[in-house]
């Protein structure tokens, strides 16, 4: 059986074949000071039943969003995913090879990717979308690199309301492309003058809407300022459900849109996998990373789907590639497409309305708690609280009470004392009134010392 460990005889034969006397010889190039003196304190092996029991015991220590009132957000959101989504993504029509190199045997894959692109373009108010990106953070980084190619400048301005993970991902990649980043300080109130930061070296301005702290803004004036200076506006969306209620960034003048699609069709899954959305204006099409699926007719006049544009290095000469993205988040994109199809335009707008209404209700309950201040003037389904105690400490106390009380801003801005007392909370269609009451009462007890 291939899963059983090798025997001592097996190991001896392998060592003999490669000319080594003992296993330690394989590590002769490793400095002695880097080697451990004793084995790692882990079980050497267990049977399958024992492993299941051990892993289950560890998993039981987690407080799951399915088992407790949850107000987690800050870029990843718990939404209801219909059971039909999981059933449909397993159908054979879609279970073709992950990359549709041969369109004649990949029609199911190509068709849903074509429909995915159409949905993303409509949601974002843009002319064309690709199929697809890894996640929102890397899509943001790709957008900045694309802007540098389009404008032929090497500086990007990042809003203080951009998710820190998106900022870090962009910073990680930018240096290898000769891009420099001018990142504004965290802006919990959303009050920042990004237009004043634009100069003749600016390739793009990156702004999130709703931003990391939940603020909603009109991007039109900033888009006008960017275009006047010959720069591009990149709009980032981490909560795609917001596009059912807020004016699409494309309709506000954005040139490139990088978004996270996890909220539709994809569960939280402890951080992944997720699906990146990427949409642009037609005039910038050939600088877009990834690939585009197109619709055509075959020799018999029947509708068919093909890869219309592939700008990644696996398809074309490396020096011509716009990105080294290796594949797309195909299964997650399929789940997104199916869920969005099930919702339809009216259903999507209703979902957004429910999210916003629940957030408004939550705000009303929390702003009456002593020691809590809601700092947002506008929001969709997420907003920021200023507490009279450390938000990180409060979150730990809430967890001990069986409540996932939100994300302390300090977790994503470690060492920044200005955000120490800020707590970001989100409400979705799954947030009940009893959940809200539980959080309200728990915060009252923690902050006010009530019983």
pLDDT band (50, 70, 90) for residue 451: very low
- In this predicted structure, what is the pLDDT of residue 97? 52
Question: What are the two backbone dihedrals, phi and then psi, of residue 233, each rounded to the nearest 5 degrees?
Answer: -105, 125
Give the helix/strand (H/E) hosting 386.
strand 382-387
Is residue 210 within 8 Å of 244, Cβ to Cβ?
A: no
Of 295, 318, 340, the residue at which a domain comes to its end is: 340
User: Model's pTM, two decimal places?
Assistant: 0.88
* Secondary structure of residue 270 in the 3-state scheme: helix
325 and 422, same domain (yes or no):
no
Of 277, 308, 340, the residue at which a domain comes to its end is: 340
Question: Within a domain: residue 54?
Answer: no
Total tally of structural domains belonging to the chain:
2
229 and 374, same domain (yes or no):
no
Q: Give the number of other CB atoms < 10 A from CB of residue 298.
A: 11
304 and 366, same domain (yes or no):
no
The CA-to-CA distance between both ends of the chain, in Å, stands at 60
User: Can you spell out the DSSP letters for 104-173?
Assistant: GG-HHHHHHHHHHHHHHHHHHT-SEE-S-BS-HHHHHHHHHHHHHHHHT--EEEE-TTS-HHHHHHHHHH
The mean pLDDT of 268-288, rounded to a whole number, is 92
Domain that holds residue 400: 344-448
Angle in degrees, 0-180, between the axes of helices 391-400 and 433-448, rounded to the nearest 10: 120
Is residue 184 within 8 Å of 160, Cβ to Cβ?
A: yes
386 and 327, same domain (yes or no):
no
Digit-coded pLDDT (tens) for 174-230 = 989 999 999 999 999 999 999 999 999 999 999 999 999 999 999 999 999 999 999
Strand locations in 192-342 (E): 202-208, 232-237, 256-260, 276-280, 291-297, 303-310
Q: Residue 133's beta-bridge partner residues?
A: 276
pLDDT band (50, 70, 90) for residue 42: confident
- The bridge status of strand 382-387 relative to strand 407-408 is unpaired
Q: Residue 307's beta-bridge partner residues?
A: 293
């Amino acid at each position: 059986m291939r899963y059983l460990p090798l025997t001592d005889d097996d190991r001896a034969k392998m060592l003999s074949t490669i000319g080594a006397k003992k296993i330690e010889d394989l590590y002769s190039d490793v400095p002695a000071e880097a080697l451990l003196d004793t084995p790692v304190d882990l079980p050497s092996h267990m049977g399958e039943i024992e492993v299941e029991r051990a892993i289950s015991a560890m998993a039981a220590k987690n407080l799951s969003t399915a088992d407790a009132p949850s107000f987690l957000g800050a870029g990843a959101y718990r939404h209801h995913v219909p059971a039909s989504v999981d059933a449909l993504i397993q159908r054979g029509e879609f279970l073709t090879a992950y990359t549709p190199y041969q369109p004649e045997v990949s029609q199911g894959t190509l068709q849903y990717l074509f429909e995915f692109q159409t949905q993303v373009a409509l949601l974002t108010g843009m002319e064309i979308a690709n199929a697809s990106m890894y996640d929102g953070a890397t899509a943001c980084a790709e957008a900045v690199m694309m802007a540098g190619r389009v404008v032929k400048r090497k500086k990007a301005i990042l809003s203080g309301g951009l998710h820190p993970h998106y900022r870090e991902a962009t910073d990680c990649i930018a240096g290898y492309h000769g891009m420099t980043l001018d990142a504004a300080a965290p802006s919990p109130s959303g009050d920042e003058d990004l237009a004043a930061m634009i100069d003749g070296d600016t390739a793009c301005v990156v702004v999130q809407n709703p931003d990391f702290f939940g603020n909603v803004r009109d991007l039109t004036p900033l888009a006008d300022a960017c275009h006047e200076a010959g720069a591009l506006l990149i709009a980032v969306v981490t909560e795609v459900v917001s596009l059912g209620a807020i004016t699409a960034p494309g309709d506000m003048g954005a040139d490139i849109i990088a978004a996270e699609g996890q909220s539709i069709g994809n569960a939280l899954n402890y951080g992944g996998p997720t699906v990146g959305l990427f949409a642009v204006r037609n005039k910038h099409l050939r600088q877009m990373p990834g690939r585009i699926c197109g619709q055509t007719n075959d020799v018999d006049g029947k509708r068919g789907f093909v890869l219309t544009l592939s700008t990644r290095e696996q398809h074309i000469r490396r020096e011509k590639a716009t990105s080294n993205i290796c594949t797309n988040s195909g299964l997650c994109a399929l789940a997104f497409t199916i869920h969005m199809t099930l919702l339809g335009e009216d259903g999507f707008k209703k979902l957004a309305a429910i999210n916003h209404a629940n957030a408004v209700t939550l705000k009303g309950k929390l702003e009456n708690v002593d020691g809590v201040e809601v700092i947002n003037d506008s929001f969709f389904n997420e907003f920021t609280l200023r507490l009279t105690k450390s938000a990180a400490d409060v979150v730990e106390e809430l967890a001990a009470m069986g409540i996932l009380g939100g994300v302390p801003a300090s977790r994503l801005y470690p060492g920044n004392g200005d955000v120490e007392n800020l707590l970001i909370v989100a409400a979705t269609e799954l947030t009940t009134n009893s959940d809200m009451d539980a959080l309200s009462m728990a915060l009252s007890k923690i902050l006010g010392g009530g019983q």
